[in-house]
Amino acid sequence: MSDVSQRFATPPVLITGMSGAGLSSAAKVLEDKGYYVAHNIPSRVMVDLFEQCAAEDSPVDKLGVVADVRTRMFPGSLLEVITELDSRGLKPVVLFMDARDDVLIRRFDSVRRTHPLQEGDTLSLGIEREREAVKNVLAEADLVIDTSGLSVHDLRRAIEVSLGTMAADRQHVTVQSFGFKHGAPRDADIMVDVRFLPNPYWVPELRAFRGTDQPVADYVLRQPSAGEFIDNFEAMFASMLAGYRHEGKNFVTVAVGCTGGHHRSVAVAEEFARRLRLRDGLEVNVIHRDFDRH
């Protein structure tokens, strides 16, 4: 059996998800990073494409494939393709792009497009049909990015951070800070709430700073309850990593929330990521979702 880590410079990426959730934007990010990206080829052709690109004489060493609702109109399910690729040592990283229904409706309305599965009905029904069609792929996705509150620039950063350097022999952990007042992230595997810590926002000389600034980090992390919490959470998470690895889950997103996503969650996320980087076999990235939001 072939080894994907030897046949590609980075593991191939399969981009799929909800129409209007940012599949094209994700594809552009990969193209800018030097990936050869194929769009909406029939499911049965995907396996042949992967094999051709993985051949020794292939000029392609970074491969991305976009599979939206149009791909699913051809015979053969996407899950069958992923299973077949896995059996050949070519299993891709499955990146699922998602967004809330109200956001998808607003995006379709703004460009005056009909949903591919609308079929003369309402836009909401088209989105409902697509959610039903993709639910099995969503359940098997390695990475889920919820683009509901992301600008184009935020989306690029989220994809770049989530994919990282894509080392095939490592588990990938993304630590994301966020503010509950902007909504809890839907794409997190584990979520923790650090609003029990004293809030630097109420310290006048700290309010304008962020959790990446030393005065705020010191204020947050020097709280006895902060150190105890991070110690306990790190120990719990470490015990989970082996189980994730056994289940084939090599991408894990940890969300750390506070009120606004500026101070406590940022400082704790940075410290937690720092500790994880000391462990072997992990690639750790940090993203601060609401760092600049008010």
Q: Report the binding-site residues.
A: 68-71
Cβ 18 vs Cβ 130: under 8 Å: yes
Binding site residue list for GTP: 68-71
Dist CA 228 CA 279 (whole Å): 19
